[in-house]
Structure formats: C-alpha cells, structure tokens
Copies of this chain bind each other. A is one copy, B any other.
C-alpha cells in the first residue's frame, strides 16, 4: 500500500458491529496494522480473535490502550464516560482518541469531565452506519462505504488529531464532514432517533392489541421496511434516547403537532389538507432518493 496506515497500533474498545467493522475495513487496507480489542465479554473478544477481526485482546481498558497511537471507543453511549475515566491516565503521548457514539452532546460532556489534560487529543465522531443486527459476528468491512461520518471537534481539539481521525475514516470508504455538537444532535434526532422511537412504539402499540397475532400475519412489505429498525438493540437505543433527550423531545414535539393536524384533517374529511402533506412528503422523499442521498430500495 502506498498510503501510510492511519495508525500503527489501533485499540478498539467495544468490538461490536461498528468497532468490528472498522477493524475489518482498516485491516483490509493495511494488513500490517495491529488491532487490540477490549471489552467486558470474553466470549465476544474470543470470537473477534477467531474471526480475525483483532490481533489480541485485553479486558482492562487501561492495559488495552498502552502503546496505542489510535484509540476508538465504540461502546454504547451510556458507557463512554466510564471508559474515558479508565483510559485517561494511560494513553500514550501521541495517542488520538475518538468515539462512534450516535449522540455527541453527552459524549462531549463526559470528555470534559474525564479526559483532563488529554481533552485536546479527543475527536468526537459518529459514523452514520449500522444495521439492525449487532455484535462482532455482524461486522463487515464494507459497512462504511459511501456512508457519512460526522466529526464534532471542540474548541480545545488539536487540529492534527482531527486530521488523523479524518484519515482513519476515509480509509473505510466513508465521507467525512465536521459539524457543531448541538447541530449534530438536532440533525440525528430528526433523521435517526425519532424514526427509531416511532418504529419501536408502533410495533409495541400493535402488539398490545387483542388480535395482535393476526394483525402481524397480514403485514406486508411496507410494514416490514417501516419496522425494520424496531429490531435494533433496545439497550443501545434506550441509551441514545436518554443521551439525546432534549433534541429528541423537541423534534418529537414538532412531529406530534403535525400528526395531530393530520388526524384533524382525517376527522374533518379534509382531503385537500391530506393531499398537501402527502404530496410534499412524496416530492421531498423522491427528490432525495433520486439524488442518492437516500439510496433507493432494491
């Protein structure tokens, strides 16, 4: 390879779908890269080793980050602060730290509280990628190809650290951009967190109906796609919803108001009002699908 690897020794704390896929993507490009996995579940780490996702593992984060020049924290957002506290005093001088959390406000708060003098080496990050599956078994090298990765550097963040994390993600085929922390959380609340909340709530709401067995028996393709994200890891999404509470409640409030207006239109048999909402939505959805910003199905 003519491009130098984005790290010599990479430590991934949390070897699940995202952490595992990142390791696979980087090893594909740079076979010599050493990847150290860290996590609390030994069977998962052993499986990651068997699958060739990592070279070795540690269960203690402080040991895992020793001598690493790049540390990726890929644990659920609810556990990031604990990991920061465990590694802050053990990072190599040249180490850059990044994370993959779906919310950034809470991660940044945790960084200010726990990273101390190493705050400048931390680059908050979020690869917008995933499937409804989880765990290292589901990891694959192509997960990030064509996806967006958003970095939300702080005023204190070293510019060189940002560039190293940008280079890391570019190797996976992702498109990297930067954004303000609050703006990131508002955008993701709208396009990701709220849809997950609606899908979970809808499936649970229908499941509580008397004839739910029969109801799901008649569900078709539209329902299947609409509810796919309700098969996502519940603990992960509980953490995300709580971590991004304010932005999520704000976008949910806006949505609920709009939904009430639509219900009113149906109540009043106001076809014109419905047509406006449905027509605008189709136009927007088609336009973005055509641009490839939302990939078309099949």
Interface of A with B (CB < 8 Å)? 128-132, 147-148, 150, 183, 187-188, 190-192, 194-209, 211-212, 214-235, 237-239, 241-242, 245, 248-249, 252, 254-256, 258-260, 262-263, 266-267, 269, 271, 274-275, 277-282, 284-286, 288-289, 293-297
| Chain B residue, CB-CB nearest to A223 | B191
A295 to B228, CA, bound (A): 10
With A216-B191, A284-B203 as known contacts, state yes or no: A226 contacts B224, CB within 8 Å: no
A22 CB to closest chain B CB (Å) equals 16
Q: How many monomers of this chain does the complex have?
A: 2
Report whether A294 and B226 are in contact in the complex, using a CB–CB cutoff of 8 Å. no
A201 to B132, CA, bound (A): 23
Select which of B148, B227, B295 is within 8 A of A224 by beta carbon.
Answer: B295
Report whether B280 and A207 are in contact in the complex, using a CB–CB cutoff of 8 Å. yes
Select which of B199, B218, B230 is within 8 A of A148 by beta carbon.
Answer: B218
| Chain B residue, CB-CB nearest to A150 | B218
- Residues from chain B with Cβ under 8 Å of A281 in the complex: 199-204, 207, 230, 234
Instruction: Give me the 7 closest cross-chain CB pairs, A-B, nearest first.
Output: A234-B278, A203-B281, A225-B225, A204-B281, A200-B281, A205-B258, A207-B284
Report whether A198 and B198 are in contact in the complex, using a CB–CB cutoff of 8 Å. yes
A275 to B78, CA, bound (A): 13
Further pairs besides A231-B289, A242-B274: 8, Cβ < 8 Å: A129-B220, A195-B222, A200-B278, A217-B293, A219-B294, A237-B278, A238-B274, A249-B263
